Amino acid sequence: MLRFKKNDLYVEQVRLSDIAKKYGTSAYIYSKNKIVNNFENYKKALGAKDGFICFACKTNSNGTILKLLSKLGAGADTTSGGEIYRCLSAGFSSSKIVYAGVGKTTEEIEYALKSKIFMFNVESFEELDAIDKIASKIKVKAKISFRINPYVNSSTHSYLATGKKGAKFGIPYENAVEAYSVAKRKKNIVIVGIHSHIGSQILDIGSFRLVAQKIKKIVDAVEKNGIKLEYINCGGGLGISYEEGQEAPSPKQLMVELFRIFDKDKKFIFEPGRSIIGNAGYLLTKVIYRKISGGKNFLIVDAGMNDLIRPTLYEAHHEIVPVKKTNAKKVKTDVVGPICESGDFMGKDRMLPLINQGEYLLVKCVGAYGAAMSSEYNSRPLIPEILVDGCTIKLIRKRACNRDLLANEI
């Protein structure tokens, strides 16, 4: 969805420099058609199998994007009461909302039950007790799966791995079968399935296969005890290609592997986040100053780690390109933000043309965990989000102003 026409870079049919002129920088920009394609790939891969695709809305919780996905038939994977609220506001059917998280509070559980969400992915014995008690108090039944920690080391950044031994997530593998027996005795709990999510930006199908095989063992043992598990929830985590040469498996490849392992009558839930929205988002930023220091070139841009924290938090690589073709000589450059932290950078040691002050750069693949993780650190108002659809530009979150910084202070 990104290409040059003559000397200018376009997202779909819109010239990026035009967006910069109209809405200022820095700004998040999304390609609607890329989001639609990514989601349709999942839908097609699921095919006639019973189940649904729940968008992991922590990756990007903008209401317009949520609304778009809910209209396409997506369910939602949520991790807090706030996310359930956002998803319901965006039109998701409560019967397609699943809710994971190690620390669900009493208020959140009650809210989720009253909202009639599809199911809880339960992550501890104490949480199971809490859900049972609250459900009893408000006289409803709670549908649950257990999130199982399968003890699989996926090859991703350590902060993104959630399914290895010692992680805080899920029920420990050795307690999984017992958990279902305990749940069966709870009056207000209805068991519907099993869940696992081993982490994010996983590029090897082998990790998913291994998890599925381990989960299948639990399913067999639980069903031998007379407890039927209708839904297999495979979580999210499918990686995307952040740099040239990085190959990401397709949803189809993932599902072919998983469907092979489980019985034909099983229903499936997938919870993709990054692989739906990641490569559909861009961060447009302007060069404020240039300098050379300690023998290094710096491009100082108007986007900071408060807008995009992934480079410093996860050592994430995002491609950075000028939005205008140039013959300027390429030099090794650090692209850094204005914030008072040495961790404030978009990219280091990049070969970039020596562009001028006032010119624009585009940081790619920031649709997931970009705007959603942004903050006002250094008292920088949140930046706008813009959705491009063909040749139309829609502002879907306006730029905040200095006054907004004080909004909740007393």
Ligand X SMILES: *Cc1c(COP(=O)(O)O)cnc(C)c1O
Task: Give least dist CB 274 to ligand X, A.
Answer: 4
Q: Where are the alpha helices (DSSP H) in 52-144?
A: 63-71, 81-89, 106-114, 125-137
Task: Give least dist CB 160 to ligand X, A.
Answer: 7
Nearer to ligand X, 96 or 274 (CB): 274
Task: Give least dist CB 97 to ligand X, A.
Answer: 13
Q: Are 398 and 406 in contact (CB under 8 A)?
A: no
Other C-beta atoms lying within 10 Å of the C-beta of residue 45? 18
Range in contact with ligand X (rule: CB under 6 A) among 53-61, 179-187, 321-329, 399-407: 53-61
Site for ligand X in 345-384 (CB under 6 A): 368
Q: Are 335 and 400 in contact (CB under 8 A)?
A: no
Calculate helix-pair angle for 63-71, 32-46, nearest 10 degrees.
40
Question: Which amino acid is present at 1?
Answer: M
Q: Which of 19, 69, 76, 100 binds ligand X (CB under 6 A)?
A: 100
Instruction: Tell me which H or E stretch contains 27.
Output: strand 27-31
Q: Annotated active-site positions, please?
A: 340
C-alpha to C-alpha distance for 8 and 17, rounded to whole angstroms: 8
Tokens of 383: 């930046």
Quick note: the x/- pattern for ligand X over 6-25, rule CB under 6 A, is: --------------------
Q: How many residues bind ligand X (CB under 6 A)?
A: 18
Q: Are 135 and 141 in contact (CB under 8 A)?
A: yes
Site for ligand X in 194-223 (CB under 6 A): 197, 200
Task: Give least dist CB 190 to ligand X, A.
Answer: 20
Nearer to ligand X, 237 or 311 (CB): 237
Task: Give least dist CB 59 to ligand X, A.
Answer: 5
Quick note: the x/- pattern for ligand X over 224-263, rule CB under 6 A, is: -----------xxxx-------------------------
Range in contact with ligand X (rule: CB under 6 A) among 29-37, 268-276, 319-327, 398-406: 268-276
Task: Give least dist CB 227 to ligand X, A.
Answer: 22
Question: What are the C-alpha distances in Å from 367 to residues 60, 155, 343?
Answer: 7, 22, 21
Question: Residue 312 contacts by C-beta under 8 Å, 6 or more apart in sequence?
Answer: 305, 341, 343, 344, 345
Q: Is residue 281 at the binding interface for ligand X, with CB under 6 A as the rule?
A: no
**Residue 228 DSSP label:** -
Q: Is residue 59 at the binding interface for ligand X, with CB under 6 A as the rule?
A: yes
Residue-wise over 121-146: b if at least 16 C-beta within 10 A, else e?
A: bbbbeebbebbbebbeeeeeebbbbb
Quick note: the x/- pattern for ligand X over 287-326, rule CB under 6 A, is: ----------------------------------------
Could you list the residues that contact ligand X (CB under 6 A)? 56, 58-59, 77, 79, 100, 197, 200, 235-238, 271-275, 368
